[in-house]
Structure 1
Amino acid sequence: MTDSSNSKQQHIRIGIGGWTFEPWRGNFYPAGLSHAKELHYASRQLTAIEVNGTYYSTFKPPTFAKWHGETPDGFMFSLKANRFATNRRVLAEAGDSIKRFVDSGISELKDKLGPIVWQFMPSKQFEPGDFEAFLALLPQAVDGRTLRHVLDVRHESFATPAFIELARRYGCVPVHTDSEKFPAIADGAADFAYLRLMRSQADVPTGYTPEVIAQWAQGVRTWTGGERPRDVFVYFINGAKERAPAGAMELIRQLGIALPKAEQGTTQALF
C-alpha cells in the first residue's frame, strides 16, 4: 500500500453500533469468545464503533479509559449524547444536561474520541430559534480536546437548506441516514461526513449487497480524495442488525483498509 493510500485511509472510519449483541456471538464473534473480550475483538475487525449506551446511561471516566486501553491505535468511538439533552420540548434549556454529558469523562478516550451524536426524536420538528439556542450551548472542546458534533435529526421538517446553513454556522454536521423512515440530509461542504446505513437485509449475507456497498465505497473515495481530503464515518446500524459486522467488513475490504495485525498470543488470550 502506498503512502498516499495510508494517508487516505486515516480519514475513513467504518463500524457498527455497539459491540454486545447476542446474534453476533458465534456469527461475528468466534464461538466461545468471552463477553469481556468482545470489544477487543471487534476493534480489530473494524475501525470504529458508535456507542448507543451513552444515550441511555451515564458512564464514568474509568469506563472510557478502559475502552481506550482495549482498542488499537487509530480506532475511534462515536458517542451518542445522553437523551436528557435532546429529548425535551425546549432545547434552549438543555445546558445542564449537555455539560453533564461532556464532563462525564469522555475525554478519557483521548485521540479515540470521534464525533458526538446528538439524536433527536422523530417527532421533534425544526424550530430555527430554539434549535439555534441549542447549538449555541454545544462546547467546542473538553479538557483541551476539540469536539466534533453531528446532528441526528429524524423529522422531515429538517430537510431544508435553512437547517444545513444553521448547522454549518455552528460547525455541526447533519447525519446522512440511509433509511426508509428518516430523511437523508447531507452537507456537501462539511468538514467531515457521518453516515448511518440502516437498510440491511437479513437475506443478504453482508446486509447490503456487495454491489450496493461498492457504490458507498465510491462515495467514500470521492469524499476523502481530491485537494481537500475529509474524514468520513460510516456505520452499518439497525435494519437486520445481525448482518451489520459483515457489511462493515465488506466495505473495509472494498476500500482496501489495513487493519491492525493481531498481537502474538491474541487468540489464546481471547478465551
Structure 2
Amino acid sequence: MTMKQDSAPAATGRIRVGTSGWRYPSWRGDFYPRGLVQRRELAFIGERFSTVELNGSFYSLQRPGSYLRWRAAVPEGFVFAVKGSRYISHMLALREVRSALANFFASGVLALGPALGPILWQLPERHRFDPEVLSAFLAALPRTTGEALELARGHDERLDGRAWLEECVDRPLSYALEPRSVSFDDPALRELLDRHGVALTVADTAGRWPEFEPTEADHVYVRLHGASELYTSGYSAAELRRWAQRCIHWSRDGVGAARDVYVYFDNDARGHAPHDALALARLVDDSRVDDSRVAHPEARS
C-alpha cells in the first residue's frame, strides 16, 4: 500500500515532501518495483509524492521537450522544484548573469506551467558572502513568469532553435538560496533575502556545512542530505519526528499568513531518500506527529 501526501489542514500551509531527483539505479528493485521501465519512474514518483526536486537543470540546460514530458508524467497539482544552473552559481559566481539567466529560462523551465515550484540556487562552499554581489543577483531574478519570459527572449545564439518562448499565464516565481560557507552566517544576509522574499534553505548536511534557520519568505525550503553521513545515511524514526515537528511549526509560522514547506531528501547514495521521504510524508500528513503513523525507515515492505 502506498500513501500519497495530501494538503495540510486549512489553518496551515501545505507541507510537500519529495526527493532530490528520481533516476537512481540503486532504487530499482528496491523503491521502484523490479521490472519498472525507466520512463515510468517519474510517474511512479508522482503517484506517491506531491513534489520532486529536478536536479538535471543544475548540470546543464535541459530542453523544452524534456520539461513537457516531465510535466505530462505527473498528476495535476504536482510541483517541481528546479535547481538553478551551476554555470550561474558556480562558474559565474552570481556575477554578470543576465545572459545566462535568459538562457536558463529559455531552456524550457517555463514549460512546466503551474507545476513550476521554487527555483533553488545552490552555492559552492568556496563562495563567500558578498552583499553587493548577492544583492545584484537577487535584483536580476525575474519575479513572475511573465518577467521570466521577457528575459528569456534575450537568450543568446546557443538557444537558437530550441528556446521555449510560449506565452504563459503570469504567475509569481519563488526562489531559495542554499549557501555552504560559514561566511553567510551574517544578519545582513537575512535582511537581504527578506527584502527580496527569497527563502534561506534549511540544509541538514551531517555537520559538513552550516544549517540556517528560515527567512521570512512565503515558503520554507528544506534539503536533507543525511543525518550522520553526507548523502549516505538514513534518518531514524526519532530524527524524522523532529523534522516533522519543525516542518509543522514552519507551516504555521508565516508572517501574516501560513506558508508552504518544501522538503527534499538527498541521501540517495544507498537508496534511503525515497523511503525516508515516504516516512516523513506520513508523519506530516495530518499535521501531527504520532509514533504509530510511521515505521522505522529501514523497515521496508
* CA distance 1:10–1:132, shift in 2 (3 Å): closer
Question: Which TM-score applies when normalising by structure 2?
Answer: 0.78
The yes-or-no answer on 1:151 pairing with 2:181 is: no
Q: 3-state SS of the aligned residue for 1:91?
A: coil
In structure 1, what residue type is equivalent to 2:212? I
The yes-or-no answer on 1:253 pairing with 2:282 is: yes
In structure 2, what residue type is equivalent to 1:23? S
State the match for 1:170 in structure 2. 196
Alignment of 1:188-207 (within 5 A): 188-200=215-227, 207=234
State the match for 1:132 in structure 2. 135
Question: Which TM-score applies when normalising by structure 1?
Answer: 0.86
* CA distance 1:119–1:4, shift in 2 (3 Å): closer
State the match for 2:239 in structure 1. 212
List per-residue Cα deviations over 1:204-255 (Å, max 9, x = no partner).
xx92111111111111211223672110001111364510000000011112
* Residues in 2 aligned to 1:13 and 1:160: alpha-carbon distance in whole angstroms: 29
State the match for 2:154 in structure 1. none
Residues 176, 196 of structure 1: 8 Å contact kept:
yes
Q: CA deviation at 1:77?
A: 0.7
Identity of aligned residues (%): 35
Q: CA deviation at 1:184?
A: 0.9
* Residues in 2 aligned to 1:167 and 1:187: alpha-carbon distance in whole angstroms: 10
The yes-or-no answer on 1:93 pairing with 2:96 is: yes
State the match for 2:29 in structure 1. 26
List per-residue Cα deviations over 1:130-189 (Å, max 9, x = no partner).
111111111111232221011111111001111111111112111111112111112352
- State the aligned residue count: 254
Q: 3-state SS of the aligned residue for 1:26?
A: coil
Residues 199, 240 of structure 1: 8 Å contact kept:
no
In structure 2, what residue type is equivalent to 1:30? P
Q: CA deviation at 1:51?
A: 1.2
Q: Which moved more, 1:228-237 or 1:99-108?
A: 99-108
The yes-or-no answer on 1:182 pairing with 2:182 is: no
* Residues in 2 aligned to 1:65 and 1:246: alpha-carbon distance in whole angstroms: 27
Q: 3-state SS of the aligned residue for 1:43?
A: helix
Residues 200, 240 of structure 1: 8 Å contact kept:
no
State the match for 2:161 in structure 1. none
State the match for 2:74 in structure 1. 71
**Which runs of at least 4 in structure 1 moved beyond 4 Å after TM superposition?**
3-6
State the match for 2:63 in structure 1. 60
The yes-or-no answer on 1:113 pairing with 2:138 is: no
Residues 201, 212 of structure 2: 8 Å contact kept:
yes
The yes-or-no answer on 1:42 pairing with 2:68 is: no
* Residues in 2 aligned to 1:8 and 1:14: alpha-carbon distance in whole angstroms: 19
Q: CA deviation at 1:4?
A: 8.6
Residues 150, 174 of structure 1: 8 Å contact kept:
yes
Residues 202, 213 of structure 2: 8 Å contact kept:
yes
Q: CA deviation at 1:16?
A: 0.5
Alignment of 1:226-265 (within 5 A): 228-238=257-267, 240-256=269-285
* Residues in 2 aligned to 1:58 and 1:125: alpha-carbon distance in whole angstroms: 25
Residues 234, 272 of structure 2: 8 Å contact kept:
yes
Residues 13, 258 of structure 2: 8 Å contact kept:
no
Q: CA deviation at 1:190?
A: 2.4
Q: CA deviation at 1:59?
A: 1.3
* Residues in 1 aligned to 2:268 and 2:208: alpha-carbon distance in whole angstroms: 11
In structure 2, what residue type is equivalent to 1:222? H
* Residues in 2 aligned to 1:7 and 1:65: alpha-carbon distance in whole angstroms: 31
* Residues in 2 aligned to 1:98 and 1:152: alpha-carbon distance in whole angstroms: 18
Q: 3-state SS of the aligned residue for 2:221?
A: strand
Residues 207, 240 of structure 1: 8 Å contact kept:
no
* CA distance 1:71–1:90, shift in 2 (3 Å): closer
Residues 18, 51 of structure 2: 8 Å contact kept:
yes
State the match for 1:122 in structure 2. 125
In structure 1, what residue type is equivalent to 2:111? E
In structure 1, what residue type is equivalent to 2:194? R
The yes-or-no answer on 1:224 pairing with 2:227 is: no
* Residues in 2 aligned to 1:59 and 1:157: alpha-carbon distance in whole angstroms: 32
Residues 244, 283 of structure 2: 8 Å contact kept:
yes
